[in-house]
Amino acid sequence: MDSQPDPRSLAAARFNDPDAAPAPLSAADDAARLRAAWRRTLGSALLVLAGAALAGFAIGRPAALLALAAVALLAWHYWRLHRVLGDLAGRQPEPGRGRDAWGELDRRLRRNQAQMRGRQRRLLDMLRAYRAATAALPDAVVVVDRNTQRILWFNRAATDLLGLQHPRDVGAPVAERLQPLPMAQWMASGRNAEPILDAPAPADERLRLTLRLIPYSDDYWLLVARDVSKLLHLEQMRRDFVANVSHELRTPLTVVHGYLDMLDGEEMPEWAPMLAEMQKQSQRMTQLVEDLLTLSRLESRESLPEETVAMAPVLATLRREAEAFSQGRHVIEVRDLAGCDLLGSTRELHSAFSNLATNAVRYTPSGGTITIEFSRSSDGGAVLAVHDTGYGIPAEHIPRLTERFYRVSSSRSRESGGTGLGLSIVKHVLGLHQARLSIRSSVGQGSVFACHFGPERVRPVHDQATHGATP
């Protein structure tokens, strides 16, 4: 059976260990101990002075002995003060052996220094652990001074991905070291800087990076770069596959659809239901292929040809398309409250707006109202919003609506003829116009799909005669 350690030996070991802090006392015990130390110090001084006075009276020179005792007390306290100052200067304090105020001060200094050394050790251990963790990260991490935009620190991956070298690049301007990346203009945006999703790596142009700027304090920024070469390669393979398959499907679908059109259900009544269903499904497959090709074409482009898009004719066309698609089952309203045009691609913007309008008709029961409203936003931009009184969308589905083939209700979407790609097309078209799509919806009350364009996309109306308040 193991023997239990002697508490006195543990106390002695703690006392002899220069880094060990004395056992903590309660606040009341600590205050009582301090008061007792002050009383002992004052009592000792009074006792020395009283003894000197008695001795002085005995030999007939009390003043001289009192003065000598006072000088001795002053010298002793000066010597103790010198020791305290030496301890504060960094010398290891000796254990306080007295029970007076100076002994108590020595003990407190020793305890505080031991606690400080303990905190320093813990902080150093944490710092080493953090540095080891950042060194092991596959992403490049660079700490940048916000005011000077100079590099303060970077991890090992920053050498491989960004070409930074230690200690050469510590303190260097980040824009200068990361050329040809457009760092100066990007970092000038500060907290509003959008992530750079695809950029060549300065260290190796074959690598593709995403860059994010994280302002984690008022004085420092964190620049994070990630190697996305494999992801982009896989994404390109996926786009190529979808585009190639869609192109290959076009010809057989055209042939099938042509032969189906040649078959007359009136001549073969028993085949009429099957022929109608086959024609419906072939048309749906054709529309799906066309949407896939449109999406592939948009994904492969970084910009679109820009022109002034006259919104009055676009809104009038949207009204006609919505009314034709509705076939009189809905109330269609169009409002032009903006009195402006847009800068962009007429074809692509019409495609995006038409998708939103037909979706609103598709998912609104008969007797509902579809409102297409074009208005100005508070920041000087413009908003085209499509309101409907349809089924509504549960909140948990809204973040995923623009994903390819995502459906809130698969059966309802297929019955209405949707391909599941319309909102993906809308998202890509708006992205190429530096615009965004917002969605608000309440179950049973309808939805609002709004396209938000910045002020730089707004243009004055060229021909005011073609515009009316309500097309």
pLDDT at 2: 42
Q: What integer is the mean pLDDT of 277-288?
A: 81
What amino acid is encoded at 208 in this protein? R
Question: Per mean pLDDT, which range of 116-125, 322-331, 367-376 is the poorest?
Answer: 116-125
72-76, 395-399, 466-470 — most confident range: 395-399
Relative to beta strand 446-453, strand 369-376 is: unpaired
Q: Hunting for tokens 């070298």 — which residue is that? A: 165
Is the Cβ–Cβ distance between 452 and 377 less than 8 Å? yes
Query: What ranges do the domains of the chain cover?
Result: 7-127, 137-227, 232-299, 307-466
Q: How confident is the model at residue 138 (pLDDT cuts 50, 70, 90)?
A: confident
pLDDT at 463: 55
Q: How confident is the model at residue 14 (pLDDT cuts 50, 70, 90)?
A: very low
Residue 269 or 220, more confident? 220
Return the biggest CA–CA distance within the chain: 151
pLDDT at 20 over 60: no
pLDDT at 175: 84
pLDDT at 247 over 80: no
Share of the chain above pLDDT 90, in %: 20
**Side by side, which strands form the sheet with 446-453?**
331-336, 369-376, 382-388, 446-453, 436-442
232-299, CATH topology level: Helix Hairpins (1.10.287)
pLDDT at 253: 80
**Tens-digit pLDDT profile for residues 354-406:** 999 999 998 899 999 999 999 999 989 999 999 999 888 888 888 888 887 77
Q: What integer is the mean pLDDT of 296-318?
A: 85
13-17, 22-26, 33-37, 93-97 — most confident range: 33-37
pLDDT at 431 over 70: yes
The architecture of the domain spanning 307-466 is 2-Layer Sandwich (3.30)
Q: What integer is the mean pLDDT of 31-53?
A: 78
Question: What region does 202 belong to: left with phi over 0, alpha with psi -120 to 50, or beta?
Answer: alpha
Decide yes or no: CATH 3.30.450.20 for domain 137-227: yes
Question: Per mean pLDDT, which range of 9-13, 131-135, 216-220, 317-321 is the poorest?
Answer: 9-13
Residue 410 or 151, more confident? 151
Q: Give pTM, 2 decimals.
A: 0.54
pLDDT at 409: 65
Q: Same CATH fold, 307-466 and 137-227?
A: no
pLDDT at 209 over 80: yes
Structure tokens that stand for 425 in this block: 């097309």
pLDDT at 283 over 50: yes
pLDDT at 216 over 60: yes
